[in-house]
Amino acid sequence: MATKFFGTPVKRREDRRLLTGGSQYTDDLQLTGMVHAAIVRSPHAHARIRSVDVEAARSAPGVVAVFTGKDMEGVAGIPTAWLIPDSDLKTTDHPALARDRVRYVGDGVAVVLAEDRYQAEDAAQLVQVDYEILDAVADQVKAVEEGAPQVHDDAPGNRCFLFNTIQGGDLDQAFEDADDVLSFRTTNHRMIPSAIEPRGCVAQYNAASGELTLRMTSQNPHIHRLLLSIVLGVPEHKVRIVTPEIGGGFGSKIAVYADEAVMAFCAMQTGRTVKWVETRRENFQCTTHGRDHVTDVEAAYTNEGKILGLRFKTWANMGAYVSTAAPGVPTWLYGLMLSGVYDVPAVGLEVVGVFTHTTPVDACRGAGRPEATYLLERIVDLVAQRVGLDPVEIRRLNFIGKEKFPHAVAPGVIYDSGDYDAALDRLLEMVDYEAFRSEQAEAREQGRYLGIGLSTYVEICGLGPSSIVGSTGFQGGLWESSVVRVHPTGKVTVMTGANPHGQGEETTFAQVVGDVLGVDIDDVELVHGDTDLVPMGMGTYGSRATAVGGIAAFKAAQKVVEKASKIAAHQLEAREEDLEFEDGRFQVKGTDQGMSFQDVALQAYLAWNLPQGLEPGLEAQSFYDPSNFVFPFGAHACIVEVDAETGQTDIVRYVAVDDCGEVINPLIVDGQIHGGIAFGVAQALYEHAQYDESGQLLTGSMMDYAVPKPGQMPSFELDRTVTPSPVNPLGLKGIGEAGSIGSTAAVANAVADALSPFGIDHVEMPFTPQRVWQAIQQA
Amino acid sequence: MFPGEFEYHAPETIEEALDLLSRHGSDAKLLAGGHSLIPMMKLRLASSQHLVDLKNLKSSLSYIREENGDLAIGALTTHTEVEVSESLQQKAAPLAEAAGLIGDVQVRNMGTLGGSLAHADPAADQPAPALALEAQLVAQGPGGRRTIPADQFFFGFFATALQQDELLVEVRVAGLGANSGGAYLKVPHPASGYAVCGVAAVVETDGGGNCVKCRVGVTGISDGAYRATGVESALEGSAISADAIAAASAHATDGVEPLDDYFAGADYRRALAATYVKRALTTASERAGG
Amino acid sequence: MAQVSIEVRVNGSTYRKEVEPRLLLVHLLRDVLGLTGTHVGCDTSSCGACTVLLGGLAVKSCTLLAVQADGAEITTVEGLATNGDLHAVQEGFWEEHGLQCGFCTPGFLMATVQLLERNPDPGDAEIRHALEGNLCRCTGYQHIVNAVQNAAGKLREAAS
């Protein structure tokens, strides 16, 4: 295949509409006869609902209808789709609107429909809910203590699950052989994904045909179709999910939420088209959060700095209900990464999933893998300090050597390819590590505290081989499908079940397909996000869209070329093996006889003269199910300066070398890395979803929860190494989450390094000025 | 997200505005730039039956004038106008510097100096320079105008000396002369941008390295902006040195009960205030020229 | 409540409307005038997705009442390009990959237009400071800074 577009920084084809206000997000939709919904939400973390009085709201100006949990009794509960086996998982009932108990601040109690959004809000304020306030618990360690307030009657001790499936190698032997053991407790604190576009939906129901259409903010429309069909009792083929332009997801638009089911219910009850878009406050209270682990770590190591075994016990806060993919995140996605880039012979993990009176927790950019990387990178730095090694040396000592790939790691997966030393070498060169160490020493003499933090990470992504994810309890396959449809004029429509929402696949998939078909990328249009147009799909998350969905498009395009070749050979009266296909032209080798791909397309549809038995038309579908996950990796370095008087941490430099295999579009890959790094840096420095003892979200708005601003982010210095994946024919790995997986730990290690003159070797995240200042005061 | 209902008024003159205030009393709220009020109305944390929009008074209450070495600033002058004013940068640097650190560009384009002072948010920036520059705040009411010194204007949490029927119309400051320097330094909250700690300092020297006058305004630390008089008296009359400044700064929170929240507890706020008083005094002294 | 009559000029067209006083400017633009390029991303004037130019000044249209804009000249993202030719700021964002999901982009574009009017040759730190009122979750801001520099160069070239 000639690669005219693959590897080039093509300007994004989706951008013109986004730059001119020509795109349509969910909130931009104005449909005839549309009414607007406002949801009445619980102000209490835990309460019994004594009564809900909707009379005043019902008679308020413009109000069309008001529904409560009792009205929705016939609607099934919100489901969970990752049923991790052997864990005694309690999914518990999750009604779309609460009936007798509310379990977190923001739990929906009633919904008001009115002719305009202001009226809906006015009327929502008139709904009188009589609550009997109950004790609440927000912290997962407290929630499992004896006598803690119970979230669900059918989940004793607030235990959602106990997961201990990931046990690799001989842990007891490792701890016996060790010279010493490092033990500490640390947290991966809670984050709010905070896509700038809030969630929303427009629900339409045609009672005559029985068709339900939901235009909604979704990362995975086909999954939403399946699950909402089950919840609402509408047959799957009568449900259509359309995703208009999506303003970012970061994991928060994967789950099936109560709200969309409520809107569908309202549309079905009233016959009116119903629009609901959450406010930012609702987004912070009701859209899933991420992370929130407390972990006890034990690391067995030798005096030489070799890590022999790692034992983890994690309490994962699940929130009040088990969100769609939630059980898989703090177990498989986290646990499989708990040896990282290191050759650790034995790894054991126990996870207690805990119900609390907080917003449900689910995937959030990185989903489990940043948590694992943070732990590992803290472990290697702390062990290095104890055995007197430099952070660079301990990494090199424990790396999985490049000659060992494919490599089975103790947690139970097989890494596809990697060259961790190469990434680290390039990083140290860019940073000029030795020069920094001298600068640091000089600065310390002047009372300035510089620190460098390294983070060498690997991630599991490109989810994933269906048979393996099935064995983890995921209730679906994780293949991806694509249709490549060539029109009679030779223009191409590519349908994908991936659902890009900022990742640029309208460009990168066109680059891939354009190369295969030999057509210009402007002649390739990507169609996604409509279950009536795209045959099937699993969506965009887990850094899978390109490594799985892109390969499906590639394979479908190859099938198109195979058929086109047959038609061309027939038309040219040549044998197929005598044809060569290059730059969009079928040529009979060694002659000037040939025809263009466009001519072949026309002939395929004219069908006047096709090979015997060949069907007319020119399109092909592929369902691609990868044989393994892919494992991108990289090495990051963060240099910080800490103001010892105020505790303020400033990033001086951020350097990253990432390896995502072959690169389709370097501009887009860099953009993904930047965004990922920012996400992880923000976790380390700024973002922290905090609850008080009564379960009130203290950081409930963008005035309190610090989504970083331009001036709070450093410039990023990037480079890459290229280690192709053997898993797929294009050598691709994923890149959407890599930055967020590597960066948090780099900042954490940098802060610890900066504070080492005070005798500090560890500070808990996030590194708010107060927390760092307190650490210095207590040192 | 969606404000509740109210009756809207857009008076053409100050007198009309005052008349509306008198008539509607506590049912009326003034709308200047709106960047404090409208967000609270959207979240339905604030409501009023009568909203009095001052936009038509802009032509009469938006100005920066020099009068006999004094600077007179109309209450509806925006933060952007204060930020870029050369005369304020030169003669009332803390005010211009604080203006440039408020919120963000969009907020500064709409928000006004008078609105900020009259709202008296404990984490607002401009109260600190107003205190350090010993601003005179001119209020107009039914009985005419009166002038309130800044240190008698702020009364803690969103409370000021303004009467219900009064409108803040002008802010006057004496321009900093020779041997004087001023500065405003701030720790912004990472999300809101409001001051976790904001310190405005003004230092006047005798030209020979001795401090003859020192004024320090502090915001963000307690339930209202305050003058750190303990710092002032500790430095006044001393030879300016790093040690003298550090010693004076230790009095940054004398007699003050600091706010205590999850982002910054009382102990931390005390430490921040001392550090930022020290830094602001250092910059102000350097600018005073010794 | 009584409706108020207002007149605004948006992207060169004049509109006269009767509005509720409580109607926010962003809802006038989006819901009444159908200019949905201006977005709403928060409740607290934090995210800047709703930024438009009001009388040439960048403002957050979610924090203004429509009645406050009576008589004003407003430019939204829909009014940036002329006759299909993109504004230099739009070109800059496109060339430097200064956007991903695009939701915050209109606000960044409008804030950047004002930034470059005030400061035609800004440094990176000045750009970051001038865009403090806009949040982007996708880009990490690096490509936005590059985009603004790109646009600044284009505008300087056009001016010389």
> Is C83 part of any domain?
no
pLDDT at A1: 57
Query: What class does CATH assign to B58-174?
Result: alpha beta
Cross-chain Cβ contact B7/C1 below 8 Å: yes
Cross-chain Cβ contact A279/B5 below 8 Å: no
Q: What are phi and psi of B213, to 5 degrees?
A: -150, 140
Number of domains into which chain C is organized: 2
Is the distance from CB of A357 to CB of A136 less than 8 angstroms? yes
Domain assignment of residue C60, given as a range: 4-78
Cross-chain Cβ contact B42/C43 below 8 Å: yes
d(CA A754, CA A760): 9
Over 70: is that where the pLDDT of B212 sits? yes
- Give the closest-approach CA distance of B119 to chain C in angstroms: 16
Burial B52-81 (b: 16+ CB within 10 A, else e): bbbbebeeebbebeeeeeebbbbbbbbbbb
Do C61 and C96 fall into the same domain?
no
Provide the token pair at B203: 């230092």
Q: What are phi and psi of A237, to 5 degrees?
A: -75, -10
Do C120 and C69 fall into the same domain?
no
Do C63 and C117 fall into the same domain?
no
Q: Residues 200..259 of A with a Cβ closer than 8 Å to C: which?
A: 245-248, 250
> Is C103 part of any domain?
yes
Q: Is A583 helix (H, G, I), strand (E, B) or coil?
A: coil
Q: What residue has token string 């279950």?
A: A531
The helix (H) or strand (E) run that includes residue B278 is: helix B266-288
> Which ipTM did the prediction report?
0.98
CB atoms within 10 A of CB C85: 9
Which domains are assigned to chain A?
15-20+479-624 (3.30.365.10), 31-134+197-247+253-286 (3.90.1170.50), 367-462+629-778 (3.30.365.10)
- Give the closest-approach CA distance of C146 to chain B in angstroms: 20
Is the distance from CB of A190 to CB of A181 less than 8 angstroms? no
Do C106 and C68 fall into the same domain?
no
CATH number of domain containing C123: 1.10.150.120
The helix (H) or strand (E) run that includes residue A482 is: strand A480-486
Do C25 and C62 fall into the same domain?
yes
For the domain covering B180-288, report its CATH number. Answer: 3.30.390.50
CATH number of domain containing C28: 3.10.20.30
Do C15 and C45 fall into the same domain?
yes
Structure-derived torsion over alpha carbons of residues A244, A248, A250, A256, reported in degrees to the nearest 10: -30
Residues of chain C positioned with their CB less than 8 A from the CB of A708: 135
Q: Where in chain B is the domain with CATH 3.30.465.10?
A: 58-174
**C33-41 mean pLDDT:** 98
Residue type, C64: L
* CB of A778 less than 8 A from some CB of C: no
Kind of pairing between the strands at A716-720 and A414-415: unpaired
**C53-61 mean pLDDT:** 97
Nearest residue to A359 via CA among A141, A42, A145, A93: A42
Cross-chain Cβ contact C86/A19 below 8 Å: yes
For the domain covering B7-57, report its CATH number. Answer: 3.30.43.10
Which residues from B are below 8 Å from A when comparing CB atoms?
A: 1-5, 43-44, 104, 187, 189-192, 194, 262-265, 268, 271-272, 275
Q: What residue has token string 């005694």?
A: A88
pLDDT band at B36 (very low <50, low <70, confident <90, very high): confident
Lowest mean pLDDT among A339-353, A690-704, B23-37, B263-277: B23-37
Is the distance from CB of A345 to CB of A170 less than 8 angstroms? yes
Query: Percent of chain B, pLDDT > 90?
Result: 93
> Is C111 part of any domain?
yes
d(CA C48, CA C26): 11
Contact residues for A604 (Cβ-Cβ < 8 A; gap 6+): A486, A488, A563, A564, A567, A610, A616, A617, A618
Cross-chain Cβ contact B105/C133 below 8 Å: yes
Per-residue pLDDT reduced to its tens digit, C133-160: 999 999 999 999 999 999 999 999 999 8
pLDDT at B1: 76
Mean pLDDT of chain B: 96
Cross-chain Cβ contact A646/B1 below 8 Å: no
Is the distance from CB of A307 to CB of A380 less than 8 angstroms? yes
Do C99 and C134 fall into the same domain?
yes
Residues of chain A positioned with their CB less than 8 A from the CB of C144: 710
- Of C44, C59, C78, which marks where a domain is finished? C78
Write the Ramachandran bin of A504: left for phi over 0, alpha for psi from -120 to 50, otherwise beta: left
> Is C109 part of any domain?
yes
Do C52 and C100 fall into the same domain?
no
Cross-chain Cβ contact A648/B190 below 8 Å: no
Grouped pLDDT means (10 residues each) for chain A, 779 residues: 87 98 97 97 98 98 98 95 97 96 98 97 98 98 98 98 97 98 98 98 98 98 97 98 98 97 98 98 98 98 98 98 98 98 98 98 98 98 98 98 98 98 98 98 97 98 94 96 98 97 97 98 98 96 95 98 98 97 96 97 98 97 97 98 98 98 98 98 98 97 97 98 98 97 98 98 98 97
Kind of pairing between the strands at A211-216 and A239-242: parallel
* CB of C125 less than 8 A from some CB of B: no
Mean pLDDT of chain C: 97
Over 90: is that where the pLDDT of B43 sits? no
Contact residues for C44 (Cβ-Cβ < 8 A; gap 6+): A280, A701, A702, A703, B39, B43
Cross-chain Cβ contact A769/B187 below 8 Å: yes
> Is C127 part of any domain?
yes
Kind of pairing between the strands at A346-355 and A307-319: parallel
pLDDT at B46: 77
Q: What residue has token string 């070799």?
A: A306
Residue of C nearest to B106 (CA): C59
d(CA A504, CA B17): 53
Cross-chain Cβ contact C140/A678 below 8 Å: yes
- pTM for the full model? 0.98
- Give the closest-approach CA distance of A16 to chain C in angstroms: 8
* CB of C128 less than 8 A from some CB of A: yes
Kind of pairing between the strands at A34-41 and A273-277: parallel
Is the distance from CB of A747 to CB of A638 less than 8 angstroms? yes
Residues of chain C positioned with their CB less than 8 A from the CB of B42: 24, 43, 62
Do C98 and C62 fall into the same domain?
no
pLDDT band at B45 (very low <50, low <70, confident <90, very high): confident
CA separation, residue A147 to residues A142, A236, A351, B173, B235 (Å): 9, 44, 21, 62, 57
* CB of C2 less than 8 A from some CB of B: yes
Structure-derived torsion over alpha carbons of residues A182, A183, A189, A195, reported in degrees to the nearest 10: 40
